[in-house]
Amino acid sequence: MEPIVKMTGIVKQFPNVLALKGVDFSVEKGEVHSLVGENGAGKSTLMNILYGVLQPDLGEIYVRGQKQVIHSVRDAMHLGIGMVHQEFMLAPSMTVVENIILGFEPNRRSVVDYDAAAEKIRALSEEYGLAIRPESRIIDNSVGEAQRVEIIKALYRGAEVLILDEPTAVLTPQETEDLFKVIRSLKEHGKTVIFISHKLQEVLAISDRITVMRDGRVQGTLLASEATKEKIATLMVGREVFLNIKAPEGKRGGVVLDVQGVSARGRRRLSDLKNVSFQVHAGEILGIAGVDGNGQSELVEVLTGLRRVDQGDIFVSGTKITNLPPGEIRERGVSHIPEDRNRSGLCAELTVAENLVATKLKRPPLSKNGVIRGQAVRELASRLVEEYDIRPGDYRIPTRNLSGGNRQKVVVAREVSEDAQLLIAAHPTRGVDIGSIEFIRSILIAQREEGKAILLVSADLEEVLSLSDRIAVMYEGRIVGILPASEANEQVLGLMMAGGEYAKAQGEEEKVVEA
């Protein structure tokens, strides 16, 4: 049978990088086809070309056997191609219905026919098992709901081929399972799904076929039934990788971080911190799991002085640091890998060297009486660039010329070399290539071995599970439970991330086992 979408010899040049180097990619009608690869492999670029956002420099696109030139998103929609982006394109203060029909409003005598729209949307929602609340405003919807709205929006516009760009990145395991049900139902109805991800387990669970990209090229297309995690990872990276480094139980020392009943105003009401208490010991990694936006960012901010604590106290090695300015908290032995490296963690216009020394500049040997000692700065920068394998190895170039992974290595290098007793790592490997993930994780383990206390916040359960000694789960600004990593698995954590108590979560899991 003719593939529903066929792309041949696609080449795309960006100002300073050749993003696609002649890609052939084809999708059969009615299959779930995963596109995997590290960040920067070209997955999103390829899909943006198919969706009409970008134009290829070379190559051809065939849809249902017909050669097509897709100039715009509108063209793509006419061809029945829809895409759900990683960042939702929804107007927060408008209702679900309004968002779905935006730009495609059904008219009756030039008045928007909301009833007809709502009717059609309801029908779509029932047909594919997409539970939504049509009259609610997006702002009141959860991330999972908003995602379903996006999917319906694409279907409403007549999508036959649905591109999902990293759809599970923002979901709990249970929500992911719901999404998979929807994808299966889409498939049953003859729709075609292109699923972009870098979570290999999910890819294996949902796909019929898997195409692996690396460095702007397709490395191969596998049948999911014949693929394994190792096979895919090897294709992705070009060598064997070891992500699940589980270091032997560390020697746990005294309490380094002691958080006592901390409450603070959050960005949203759901993420207000409510009476949060926990401790992190020396030589221990405490992982904080949770769906994004449940107070993890706020927790990191109060610990580092970037957000005011309303109630409660924070101690580092016995010293109270509650509501001290960030600089003073750093001086008391806290270093911090922030969740948003581009906005907080780096200054893109400054050079790599300037970024590497930012937190150390005011102390000898890098400066004396306020005068910077260039020689010392260059020595430290070149040492860190080498030690942390930051590429390209020139510390005089602006940081904005570095890839995501290397930018993150700059941040990690700076913070880890602070040699602080407490390292707070917020999403240290988010949006980073596999090679760098492996490297950064091994550094965190090494820090633990050196007796540092590490607070690891991550939305990536695999990461939390493989690195942590203990895991705390946050839900709506509360810690719903802390459990030893040995007792945790995705199922238990997933239930807790959705608000379940630890004990209850355990109970339900047993029920699952019994059933």
Partner 1 sequence: MKLNLLDRLDKLQAPLNVLVAVLIGFIIGTGLMLVEGHNIGEAYTALFNGAFSGRFNFGGTLERFVPLLLSGLAFAISSKASVFNVGVEGQLYFGAMAAAYFGYTIVGLPSFLHITLVLLLAGLAGALWALIPGFLRAAYRVNEVCTTIMLNYVAIYFTSYIVNHLFKNPHIGVPQTPNIQESARLARILMPSRANIGVYIALGIVLFFIWLMDYTTLGYKIKTVGLNPQFATYAGFQARSIMVGAMVLSGFIGGITGAIQVLGIHGYFLDNFSKSLGFDGIMVALLARNNLKVLPFVAFFLAALKSGAVGMERFTGIPRELIGIMEAVIILFAAAEAIIVIRRRLSYQKGGAEVV
User: What is the contact surface with partner 1 in residues (CB under 8 A)?
Assistant: 14-17, 19, 39-40, 304, 306, 325-331, 336, 338, 342-350, 354, 358-359, 361-362, 367, 370-372, 374, 397-398, 400-404, 407, 431
Q: How far is the CB of 441 from partner 1 (least distance, A)?
A: 20
Burial of 473 (0-12, 13-18, 19+ CB in 10 A): buried
Q: How far is the CB of 328 from partner 1 (least distance, A)?
A: 8
* Tokens at 332, concatenated: 């008391």
Q: How far is the CB of 83 from partner 1 (least distance, A)?
A: 17
Nearer to partner 1, 79 or 440 (CB): 440
Q: Are 30 and 41 in contact (CB under 8 A)?
A: no
Burial of 90 (0-12, 13-18, 19+ CB in 10 A): buried
Nearer to partner 1, 65 or 364 (CB): 364
Nearer to partner 1, 303 or 497 (CB): 303
Q: Are 434 and 236 in contact (CB under 8 A)?
A: yes
Nearer to partner 1, 45 or 271 (CB): 45
Nearer to partner 1, 45 or 168 (CB): 45
Q: How far is the CB of 457 from partner 1 (least distance, A)?
A: 15
Q: What is the DSSP string of 114-183?
A: HHHHHHHHHHHHHHHT----TTSBGGGS-HHHHHHHHHHHHHHTT-SEEEEESGGGG--HHHHHHHHHHH
Nearer to partner 1, 336 or 452 (CB): 336
Determine the 3-state secondary structure of 319 from DSSP: strand
Q: How far is the CB of 15 from partner 1 (least distance, A)?
A: 7
Q: How far is the CB of 315 from partner 1 (least distance, A)?
A: 19
Instruction: Output the furthest CA–CA distance in the chain (Å, rounded).
Output: 77
**How far is residue 327's CA from residue 351's CA, in Å, rounded to a whole number?**
22
Q: How far is the CB of 169 from partner 1 (least distance, A)?
A: 16
Nearer to partner 1, 295 or 338 (CB): 338
Burial of 292 (0-12, 13-18, 19+ CB in 10 A): middle
Altogether, the residues listed in the chain come to a count of: 515
Bridge partners, residue 197, by sequence = 36
